[in-house]
Amino acid sequence: MRGLLRRIAGYVYEGKVLANIWFFNVGYISGIKGLAFAQDLKLGLCCNIPPRKLFLVQAVGIVMGTLGQVSTLNWALEQIPHICTDAAPNGFTCPFSRIHFNTDVYKDTCDWKGCRYKTIHKGGTFGT
């Protein structure tokens, strides 16, 4: 799924890096979260919890979690001086900004003829 979304975004938004990242994030992460939501709903139904109450509790939990995470991120970005730079106090960095770079660099290096890990790369293709 990840590979398919990356390829679609690459063809649709060729040369636009941020558009590719947003397309991938919206497509992949919303799909994963939807599957987790359905798994939890099914587990609750097996435990004889009324479906409407279960859905309401899940929806409220998602909203509260989202607001809490976004609020914490915005607070950190405003309150910590020089965050996401080398001059940040206590080593506050932005590791999440390297995720797409690292996955793309790995993918590009293994597309060359001299890739040392071709078997892992082929297995990863079927696992995505």
Q: Give the domain ranges of the chain.
A: 1-48
pLDDT confidence bin for 67, thresholds 50/70/90: very high
Which tokens sit at 42? Answer: 């099914």
What pLDDT was estimated at residue 95?
A: 58
pTM as predicted: 0.55
Is pLDDT larger for residue 86 or for residue 117?
A: 86
Lowest mean pLDDT among 5-14, 35-44, 101-110: 101-110
Q: What is the mean pLDDT of residues 36-55?
A: 89
CA–CA separation, 128 vs 111, rounded Å? 16
Distance from the first to the final alpha carbon of the chain:
6
pLDDT in tens, 73-99: 888 888 888 877 778 777 777 656 556
Q: What is the mean pLDDT of residues 64-71?
A: 90
What pLDDT was estimated at residue 19?
A: 80
CA distances from 16 to 11, 98, 103, 104, 121 (A): 10, 17, 17, 14, 26
What pLDDT was estimated at residue 12?
A: 83
